[in-house]
Every structure is written in C-alpha cells, then in structure tokens.
Amino acid sequence: MVAMVSGAKRYVLAPPNQCAKLGVVTSKYHPTYRHSVLNFGHLNLLDDPNIKSMPEGERRWLEIASNSLAVETVLKAGEVLYIPSHWFHYITSLQKSAQCNTRSGFPEKSNPVFGGKEEVEKCMGEDA
C-alpha cells in the first residue's frame, strides 16, 4: 500500500499476466533486472505525427505496451493506493511529494484473471 502524505503522483499499474508486453529486462545480471526499459510517459507520443526522433525499438515496444491491460490513477495527498503483489507499476511525480509505503505479503494463489507469481516467473524465464 502507498499512502500519499503530500503532493501527487501518477501510477500506471499492470497485472502480472501482462509482463511479456511491458519491455521487462529478464537478464538477472542486468542492472535493471525486472524493470521495464520503457518510458510509459511516451505512450501519448505514439499518435503524434510530429514525433520522428523516437527510436524504432522504443516505438515498437511502446506499441506493444499500449495494448496491454493496465490501470492509471493519480494519487493525491491523503489518499491510499493498494498495489497487489507482483503487479508492475510505473510512477511519475506530478508535484513535489512525500509518500509512505508498506508491503502486504504474497498471496498463496494467483488471481485467475490477472495472474500472479507464476506469470512473472514464466516471463522472466526463471524463478522470480
């Protein structure tokens, strides 16, 4: 859970079964292992005909990511957001902010709709 003490942040949340569409680094030896190489803030640039400088690889991955199941919200001061275990999240600060967060533990079973640990392990190609 994340509690926003002050300010505001934008959260994009994607369930575990969307891992393969998010450009996640799967090499355990890479410094960004289990993180996406994508800037999800660039998704809105895909439809901009004036943007020609975006690298083709980034454009291709963003097009794949734009078709993934995800939820977007803005968390403001005084609000609390629950992020389920194994969900991917992309966060953008909208204002100078302070937050407090804690882990909720791991569920024993995967969600039948969104997946869980097993989907992340499969996507990573090893035990996550």
Q: Which tokens is 37 given?
A: 């190489």
Residues 62, 43 contacting (CB under 8 angstroms): yes
pLDDT bucket at 128, cuts 50 / 70 / 90: very low
| Residues comprising the chain, all counted | 128
Asked whether residue 1 carries a pLDDT value surpassing 80, the answer given is: yes
Model pLDDT, residue 51: 67
**For the chain, how many helices (H) and strands (E)?**
2, 6
The domain defined by 2-124 carries CATH number 2.60.120.370? no
By the 8 A CB rule, do 38 and 62 touch?
Answer: yes
pLDDT at residue number 126: 63
Domains in the chain: boundaries: 2-124
The C-alpha atoms of residue 82 and residue 73 are separated, in whole angstroms, by 12
CA 125 vs CA 24, 117, 121: distances in Å:
11, 12, 6
Looking at residue 127, what is its pLDDT? 52
- Count of CB atoms within 10 A of residue 70's CB? 21
Write down the pLDDT at residue 13: 92
- How many Å apart are CA 30 and CA 26, to the nearest integer? 8
Which has more confidence, 28 or 96? 96
**Phi/psi of residue 80, nearest 5 degrees:** -125, 135
CA 31 to chain centre: 17
pLDDT, tens only, 31-84:
888 888 777 777 777 777 766 677 788 878 888 888 889 899 999 999 999 999
| Structure confidence by residue, pLDDT tens digits, 86-126 | 899 889 999 999 999 988 777 777 888 888 888 888 888 86
